[in-house]
Amino acid sequence: MGIEKLTDKEEKQKKIVEMFDDIASTYDRANRVLSMGIDIQWRKKGCDKAFEVLGKKELGQITDVATGTGDLLIYWREQAKKNGVAIDKYVGIDPSGGMLEVARNKVDFADFIEGKAQALPIAEESSDIVSISYGIRNVVERVEALQEFYRVLKPNGLVVILEFTKQERGGAIAKIVDFGMKNVLPRIGGLISKNYEAYRYLPDSIEEFLTTQMLCQELEEVGFEMKYVKSFSMGISTLLIAQKH
C-alpha cells in the first residue's frame, strides 16, 4: 500500500495545528498582551449570556472545542459559580497536542481529549453547552464541525461561539482597527512567540473568514436557532449563541 496523500483541506488543517503546537508555550501571554486583557471580559460575557439563555441551574457537561490552553473552561467554571449553576463535567477538545499539554498543567478540573471539531470524540447528545472561542475560523471543514456541535448537544442545548468575524463596515474607526490587526498585532505577537508567521496568519484568517450574517446563516442551515448575537469593541469580536431544536 502506498502512503495516502492528504487532501488540500487536510494539508491546510495540518499546517494550522502545527502552527498552534509551535506557539503553545507563549500563547496565553501573547493573548493577554495583544488584547490588553479585554478578551477575558468577552469570554465572561459569553458564559453569562449562555447561562441566562439556557435558564438551567444544573448542567451535565460543558464541552469546549478548540480549547487551546483551556482558558474558556476556567471562565465557564468561574461564571457558573457566580450564576449559581452546578456543572458535573467539563471537557476540552483540541487537535493540538502542544496546546493540550499546557491546558492539562493549567486546568485540573477538566478532561482533555485530542480531537478535531469536525469529528468530535464524544457521544451524541452528551453536552448541554458546546463552546468554541476564536477557533471556528481555524476549522477548515467548518460546516462539518457545526453539524458535529449539533450532534453532541442535548435537545435545547446551546452552541456558544466567540470569534473575530470579517467586518463589512468602512470609516475611520474601521481603518484604525484594520491597521492594528495587520501591522501592530503580527509584530507584537511575533516578538513574544518568536513566530511572526503565526501572528501574520491571524489577520489574514479573519479577512478570509465569514461575516457575522454568513456564520448565522450556516448555523441555521445546520438546524440551530439563533438566540443572541452581539459585537464587542468596535466589532473586533462577536458573540453568537444558537440553540438546538
* pTM: predicted TM-score of the whole model, two decimal places: 0.80
Q: Which is more confident, 183 or 118?
A: 118
Strands (E), 41-116: 58-65, 86-94, 111-114
Question: Residue 34 has what pLDDT?
Answer: 52
213 CB burial (10 A radius; 0-12, 13-18, 19+) = exposed
Phi, psi of 238 (to 5 degrees): -130, 135
202 pLDDT above the threshold of 90: no
pLDDT one-digit tens code per residue, 132-186: 998 888 888 999 999 999 999 999 999 999 987 665 555 555 555 555 555 555 5
pLDDT one-digit tens code per residue, 88-113: 999 999 999 988 999 999 999 999 99
Question: Rounded mean pLDDT of 111-125?
Answer: 97
Question: Rounded mean pLDDT of 54-76?
Answer: 96
Q: Are 241 and 227 in contact (CB under 8 A)?
A: yes
Lowest mean pLDDT among 129-143, 203-217, 222-236: 203-217
In eight-state DSSP terms, residue 239 is E
Burial 15-43 (b: 16+ CB within 10 A, else e): ebbebbbbbbebbeebbeebbeeebeebb
158 CB burial (10 A radius; 0-12, 13-18, 19+) = buried
**Domain ranges within the chain, ordered by starting residue:** 13-244
- Element housing 238 (H / E): strand 237-244
pLDDT one-digit tens code per residue, 1-13: 444 566 777 887 7
Class of domain 13-244: alpha beta
Q: What percent of the chain has pLDDT over 90?
A: 53
pLDDT one-digit tens code per residue, 11-45: 877 877 766 666 666 666 665 555 556 788 999 99
**Mean pLDDT of all residues in the chain?**
82
